[in-house]
Homo-oligomer: A and B are copies of this chain.
Amino acid sequence: MKKLNAGITAPKGYRAAGVFCGIKKKKLDLAMLTSDIPAQAAGAFTRNVVCAAPVHWDRRIIALGSPVSAVVINSGNANACTGKQGMEDTEAMAKLTGTLLGTPMDAVLICSTGVIGVPLPMEQVSSGITAASAELGRGSAKDDDAAQSILTTDTFIKQECVEIDIEGTPVRIAGIAKGSGMIHPNMATMLSFILTDAAVEEGLLQELLGSSIQDSYNMISIDGDTSTNDTVLALANGAAGNPVITRNSKHLETFTEAFDAVNASLARQIVLDGEGATKFIEARVSGAPSKEDARKLVKSVITSNLVKTAFFGEDANWGRILCAMGYSGAFFTPETTRLEISSAGGSLLLLDEGTPAGFDEAQALKVLKEREITITITLSDGSDSAAAWGCDLSYEYVKINGEYRT
């Protein structure tokens, strides 16, 4: 697997555009991604009971299993809690895109992110779709425009691209994402789009995505909330011309590893851009009795407000870590638990066989003052492991989310 310094159109057969159409005040607010060959599509969506119109639309398209030619994403307005009008607007977006590109409207996926409870400004959205369809292209300028257009309060674009070799054929997987920005009047949405030119057996992409999100987007936490619009979409158009990757293919592992790496990288970038975050925290556990227990343990640690504020305060507060593990709902034996934190500043043993290790405060500060910190949990309850990524909880988080009116 080779990491490329390239954007969303690095895989063959894809084009992209990002335009400003006036949903936001100034910034790019509408992106279009297209595949020249109709692509196999996969999707993973928010489990929130309250979900936005485009989520309903995309779920239906993905369930149909029919090929997809385009994805349209607008930022600035989430088209959530907008009732019947919202569904009609989403359908109008798909219809217009289909007409402009000469594809069925059921081959068009739609995502929206931004304000909720306000109908989409359809005049602006329609002009944006028309403009984007005219500006579709390949290369870094188009890639950047697309990556920019999906952002809300993110402070940087999030993209990743890797290349693998399948029997001499280069296959690429690229992705862009937006993170957990709260915008007026509200709410965190995570969007991620993965494009690959791999040829993949019918239905396999959905299986891979379902599994890949478990160890990427599902293992990050900005503030524990799940949005009405969270969506991950993946397209595979086969333009690379590789021998088809099947469920029994010897190349499945290579492809899966690369696909997972792109998703994990985007998840990591979302956390790095978490609102008000001053520190990036990775929690790793090994020796857990099951994969599910392992995931619950690290997720609970990363989600705890007490753990988050302790890291903001650069405090080696192992008690809060152990406590968060304790109420995670996962099984583990506290008496044999080992806890360690490490960073570029060194490492620090906090708990050994369930007993406080007693540490040097100066050394603790050296480890904790770094921006990226890893919590390593070693259990003796089994052989499963997991990792989760989070950030600290700062004054700035409260400020952004409590006082954005000022």
Contact = CB atoms under 8 A, between A and B. Distances in A.
Taking each of A223, A331, A354, which has the highest tally of chain B beta carbons within 10 Å of its own beta carbon? Answer: A223
A83 B187 contact: no
B317 A185 contact: yes
Contacts of A312: 398, 402
A319 interface: yes
Interface string A210-247: 00000000000001111110000000000000000000
B402 A83 contact: no
A45 interface: no
Contacts of A326: 48-51, 226, 228
A401 B334 contact: no
A48 B327 contact: yes
Contacts of A117: 318-319, 356
Given A319-B186, A323-B187, A334-B81, A309 B401 contact: yes
B323 A227 contact: yes
Interface string A62-78: 00000000000000000
A52 to B, nearest CB: 11
Copies in the complex: 2
A81 B322 contact: yes
Contact of A398 (B182, B224, B309, B330): B309
Count class of interface residues, chain A: 35 or more
Taking each of A304, A335, A402, which has the highest tally of chain B beta carbons within 10 Å of its own beta carbon? Answer: A402
A222 to B, nearest CB: 9
A327 to B, nearest CB: 4
Contacts of A47: 327
Contacts of A225: 304-306, 320, 323-324, 327
A156 interface: no
A325 interface: yes
Interface in A8-52: 46-51
Nearest to A361: B405
Interface of A: 46-51, 80-81, 83, 116-118, 182, 185-188, 223-228, 304-306, 309-310, 312-313, 315, 317-320, 322-328, 330-332, 334-335, 351, 354-356, 392-395, 397-399, 401-405
28 contacts: A48-B327, A49-B330, A50-B323, A51-B326, A81-B334, A81-B351, A81-B354, A116-B319, A117-B356, A118-B356, A182-B306, A185-B317, A186-B306, A187-B319, A223-B305, A223-B306, A225-B306, A225-B324, A227-B323, A228-B319, A305-B305, A305-B401, A312-B398, A313-B405, A315-B402, A393-B402, A394-B402, A395-B399
